[in-house]
Amino acid sequence: MLTSSSTTPVPANRAFEVIVVGGGHAGCEAALAAARSGCRTLIVANNLDRIGYMPCNPSIGGPGKSQIVSEVDALGGAMAIIADSTAMQVRQLNTSKGPAVRAIRIQCDKALYAMAMKERLENQENLSIVQDEALSLLTDEAATPPRVTGVQTRAIGTITAGAVVITAGTFLRATMIAGQARSDGGRAGDAADGHLARSIDSAGFRVRRFKTGTPPRVDARSIAVDAMEQQPGDDQELWLSSDGMLGRISPWMLPVAREGIFSGAATIGGRLQVPCFQTHTTEQTHDVIRANLHRSPMYNGGITGTGPRYCPSIEDKVGRFVDKVSHPIFVEPEGWRSHEAYLQGFSTSLPPDVQEQALRTIPGMERARITRFGYAVEYDALDPNELLRTLESRRVEGLFFAGQVNGTSGYEEAAGQGIVAGINAAARTRGTSGLVLERSDSFIGVMIDDLVSMPFDEPYRMLTSRAEYRLLLRGETADDRMLRKTRGLGVIPTARAAEVEHEQASIDRTLAALEGTWIGANQRHAMSLRSHGIQPAGRSQAAIELVRRPDVSLSTVLEVLEELQLWKEQRPTGLALSRSEIAAKYGAFIAKEENAAVRQAASESRPVPATLDFNDVQGMRIEARQKLNASQPETVGQARRTAGVTATDLGALLVYLESAGRESRDASAKTG
């Protein structure tokens, strides 16, 4: 049955500028971005009730991930504001560490998140939504390279477009597995994409078989939270989006009953929050799992796909880490009006009876009632080495891929790819320049560069450690960084751009004033400092030196300066205040990273001709030539990160490029 939902109906001529296949986190951000760019855009989704759905943990953010969400928000995306508006709990992570690795994590109401995202899509100008199945890609094979012209769907038929974004998630030839039970589908209740998978195959794309999984859910009223460690939300106001204050809880979002988990609900940090809980597996749990490893598809050959290294199943943890006597399990609510709880850390494909037996050996879970059993999903993922950094296919012009179909894991990674693919799909149809994010620009830039240039051997997850310049890429600097990258693209509204520039100017003025304001080595200044808990120095010093002390806050220093009538600037507030403090305390480290990024960019961003045959590069090993001819790196930096390429190979490439450049300059000089 065909259904459509939008203020913009499907046109009679079935012609669009951009088509997005899939309505997950990548598809939503891609479609919104293309529509905001002014393109007539269509989402084709198998099930409109699953748009923006969270099949796994209903949370957004975390280390390396909240930075991506901030960048999506800075590019005009929806994920951050919807996470803020559907939050059940908010926490800041890594607070004892430096600002480069701090992160925000929001536990969302699963159903409300999907509802809010669907509403956002329905109200977006230039965007149509249709429930239909994409069967195949349509291409112009006479073009060189082939060019996408649209998609063929089951209900509508032929739909044309200048660009197509595939965000098929884990649905390409997908199989759900629990013990010996197997069924087609990318998640419970949703069918696999077999037809689309065959169409992608026929175009010659390389794919690999990957695996993901989900844990059982339990009725929160059946668990003993008193036997677990409570983890409350933060008492400070934390927001992922720049418009976070719009996300305050509405009364209709309150839980139906304050039982179990909900009994601890309280207004914290300016909004109603519920606690999460931590428990752990025991030796008995491990004994149950070890005794049944032969029934696990991961160990009996039932699953051949590669799973995510950083999010292993519980049977994989027990099988691999034999010295561990326990593993943490986090109990997290799924919604205000749901009594289901998610068991983070207990992902499994063991048979249902084993899941139940193992679960009852966990403290607080002795009488737990499972509402949904865990299962694994095996699926085809595109080799992202097939893509350019715009996420456009090398094989088919105008065809983009984003999200888990590219072998990534996580809602945040999907959204980051989706918004870049949507912006660039719109640019492709309009014949304008697109958006390419560098490693020194953003976590999204790090992720995309890794995907298109590194070996494709396991599901990719963003980690803070992957970013060389993570001190520069803090979440609170995303607006300023993205504005610098998108000027002229029309991605960021004029009013928001003006706000970002105003905030940056406030930070610059604050830092300059701190450097130019001096605290004297006199009794009056010393008394003021002591009254605010600051130990005076034995010499005169700039105010910024006080801020750089680990136990002194910028707010306190400003109070002293105002008391002494030394502060002439408008006092920064909110994000400008916290950013000014970080810039003051870590200024030397930030400057060092900025200089390193500039130096690295000079060589890393050097373009490699698309027509280069690496067999022509003298002094390069055969293996490196083969790998580089297969991956066709766009830059020297990508060539550097290609598996099998050594420093000697890279040196040979640089010599070749320099020689070719010199010959080109000489030829130009002669003709000139």
Summarised one tens digit per residue, pLDDT across range 426-437 is: 999 999 989 999
What pLDDT is stored for residue 659 in this prediction? 85
What pLDDT is stored for residue 12 in this prediction? 59
CATH placement of domain 217-376? 2.40.30.260
What pLDDT is stored for residue 663 in this prediction? 65
Domain at 507-598, CATH from 1.10.10.1800, 1.10.3720.10, 1.10.287.110, 2.60.40.10 = 1.10.10.1800
Q: pTM of the entire structure? A: 0.88
Residue-wise pLDDT for 281-311, tens only, equals 999 999 999 999 999 998 888 888 888 777 8
Q: Where in the chain is the domain with CATH 1.10.150.570?
A: 606-671
Q: CA–CA separation, 316 vs 307, rounded Å?
A: 10
3-state secondary structure of 174: coil
- Of 278-282, 543-547, 609-613, the range with the lowest mean pLDDT is 609-613
Q: Which two tokens stand for residue 482?
A: 């993205």
Q: Where in the chain is the domain with CATH 1.10.10.1800?
A: 507-598
SS (H, E, C) 69-103: HHHHHHCCCCHHHHHHHCEEEEEEECCCCCCCCCE
Average pLDDT over residues 258-278: 79
Tokens 């010659």 sit on residue: 204
Q: CA–CA separation, 42 vs 15, rounded Å?
A: 9
Q: Where in the chain is the domain with CATH 2.40.30.260?
A: 217-376
The string of DSSP codes covering 383-447 is: -GGGB-TTSBBSSSBTEEE-SGGGTB-SHHHHHHHHHHHHHHHHHHHHT-------TTT-HHHHH
- Of 10-19, 249-258, 500-509, 516-525, the range with the lowest mean pLDDT is 249-258
Q: CA–CA separation, 19 vs 576, rounded Å?
A: 39
The string of DSSP codes covering 320-340 is: H-TT-S--EEEEEE--TT--E
User: What contacts 415, CB < 8 A, 6 or more positions away?
Assistant: 25, 26, 28, 29, 68, 69, 72, 77, 79
CA distances from 481 to 65, 218, 239, 439, 558 (A): 17, 42, 18, 12, 27
- Of 46-50, 237-241, 345-349, the range with the lowest mean pLDDT is 237-241
Q: Which two tokens stand for residue 464?
A: 């803070």
Residue-wise pLDDT for 4-45, tens only, equals 444 455 565 689 999 999 999 999 999 999 999 999 999 999
Tell me yes or no: is domain 606-671 CATH 1.10.150.570. Answer: yes
Element (H, E) at 18: strand 18-21
Residue pair 389/439 in contact by the 8 Å Cβ criterion: no
3-state secondary structure of 145: coil
3 versus 208: the higher-pLDDT residue is: 208
What pLDDT is stored for residue 69 in this prediction? 97
